[in-house]
Structure 1
């Protein structure tokens, strides 16, 4: 039994020496954990700040898009009117081109006189006036 007690005592002294050697690394580990705690203590507030900033940004973006949609809905009839005016102008100008081509084909025999005297613009204006007069009086 004496040998057993001496063996246990030696194991105890070795364990004590091992614990004494681990005191410094354990203190350093404790310091790391305390600095980690101080860092993570501020984390919930930082996350709350970031989420509130993101929420404000998304709210502002949504309001801006709503304003843009309202303005576009107000401008939509204007774009429709402009499209209708463009189509009407296109039809009118194509009709005038057809009439001008027809008149040019009908006056082929006198075309040298027209070109020689530079009267193309005058005949074009007369044709336009005639066509507008015809359109006004059905």
Structure 2
């Protein structure tokens, strides 16, 4: 044999020893890959189940949202009526406030230009009403 043949023989024996040494590791790797394949298959099945449940949940959610939107659309006219009532009340109170302010200013103007006889007549009238009510109360209590 020549040196080249001996070298090839040594490499072949070394390769055979390496394969024999790596054989248990390769078997363990094969078992691990089989378990991984089983796990992935189970995961796909679980994922399909979860996807089905999510689809049902989304469908129910969409139905609920449509129901809520329908009910809110039915309530919109009520809120419009309340808004219009609020605006009407605001306009009425503004008108009343303007009228009251006008009357107060007119009364102040009359008080400034009123004659002393007119003021004393008003005071006498108020005093008469006060004593009249007081007498009426006393009469009712007896």
TM-score by length of 2: 0.70
Unpaired runs of 5+ residues, structure 1, are 118-138
- 2:87 aligned with 1:81, yes or no? no
Residues 99-127 of structure 1: per-residue CA shift (max 9 Å, x gap): 111111111128xx89xx8xxxxxxxxxx
Counterpart residue number, 2:129: none
Matching residue of 1:127: none
Question: How many residue pairs are counted as aligned between the two chains?
Answer: 113
Asked which structure has the greater RCO (Cα within 8 Å, sep 6+), the reply is 1
Displacement of 1:8 in angstroms is 3.7
Within-5 A mapping of 1:61-100: 61-100=61-100
Secondary structure of the 2:86 match is helix
Larger radius of gyration: 2
Q: Which runs of 5+ in 2 are unaligned?
A: 113-121, 127-142
Aligned-partner Cα distance in 1 for 2:66–2:32: 50
